[in-house]
Amino acid sequence: MTASSTSVQTSSRASRLAAGSILVALVVLGLKAVAYLMTGSVALYSDALESVINVAAAVAALIALRVAARPADANHPYGHTKAEYFSAVAEGVLIVLAAAAIVREALPALLNPAELPALSGVAGLGVNLAAGVLNAVWASVLLRQGRALRSPALLADGRHIFSDVVTSVGVLLGVLAAHLTGQAWLDPLLAILVALNILWSGWRLVRESVGGLMDAAVDRETEEKIRLAMRLHGHGALEMHDLRTRHAGSVTFIEFHMVVPGDMTVQEAHSICDRLEDAIRAGTPQSSISIHVEPQEKAKHHGVLVL
């Protein structure tokens, strides 16, 4: 299977998962809205409002994945893979707006606590719990598949949904505590804490996405895989140095200099490059590799790999 066909299959799989996220987010939103209507809890309202963001984020992720799947063209010779990072940044902005809306609703209730509405038994909390369980299952799917497909958009969506799960658990415990103790102020206080948790989740998403947009290097584990492949399969070269890496969505860009003997033929040097590229891609799939071949007088040291 060629790298191109693998990339197409990966993009198609990621898009299907993003489409599934929209469906799951809509179902969860419906369940949480019903739970809020059954209880009248401000904290449950804030939890439902976060699910509105989940729907918007899932739509943004699907759009970004479809843009990222477009092949390279004259205006974008390195492809469109960085589009995935924009969906995560957009999600971060939406999270900030959701947090502000929650605080706006909860602060007056905290300053002037009203009598807690009667719970319709435990049915409302049960509905919200069901939504949380569905979110937890889907978040685990997105995180697992996002890592396998190396998709920033899916990982961002999965992490946000997992944060939503943590929020839902906290909200359920808080609403129960408010009704058991009769302390009405606990309900809006929980809503504000939810808003702070949402803000923290949004900050993490934006920070990681900006790192991708700023061409941050690969993680240490991935870099060590690349170095190991170079050491094991670089025989014939005198030296390799100036390794540079960066991520752009699911693609890893790798470049380095390779020093060869001055009398080595182009064919021989090319064979070493092919061997290195195959070895690196075996450990780091979906890599775009550039090797600059230099004569031996360009060597920084002799007889060693300088990375």
233 CB-contact burial (10 Å; exposed 0-12 / middle 13-18 / buried 19+)? middle
Smallest CA-to-CA distance from 299 within 243, 256, 241, 244 is with: 241
pLDDT tens per residue, range 227-236: 999 999 999 9
pLDDT value of position 280: 95
SS3 label, residue 52: helix
Give 118-173 as a DSSP string: PP-TTHHHHHHHHHHHHHHHHHHHHHHHHHHHT-HHHHHHHHHHHHHHHHHHHHHH
For the chain, report the end-to-end CA distance as a whole number of angstroms: 31
pLDDT value of position 175: 75
CB atoms inside a 10 Å sphere around CB 267: 7
The structure tokens listed for 100 are 């502000």
Give the pLDDT of the chain (307 residues) as one tens digit per residue.
444 445 556 677 888 998 999 999 999 999 999 988 887 777 788 778 778 878 888 888 888 888 877 887 888 887 787 777 777 777 777 777 777 777 776 777 777 776 655 555 467 788 888 999 999 999 999 999 988 887 877 887 887 788 778 777 777 777 777 777 777 777 778 778 777 877 777 777 777 777 667 777 888 999 999 999 999 999 999 999 889 998 776 688 999 999 999 899 999 999 999 999 999 999 998 888 999 999 988 777 655 566 6
Contact 267, 252 (CB under 8 A): no
Distance CA 47, CA 59 (A): 19
Distance CA 249, CA 69 (A): 10
Distance CA 296, CA 241 (A): 12
Spell out where the chain has E strands. Answer: 239-248, 251-260, 287-295
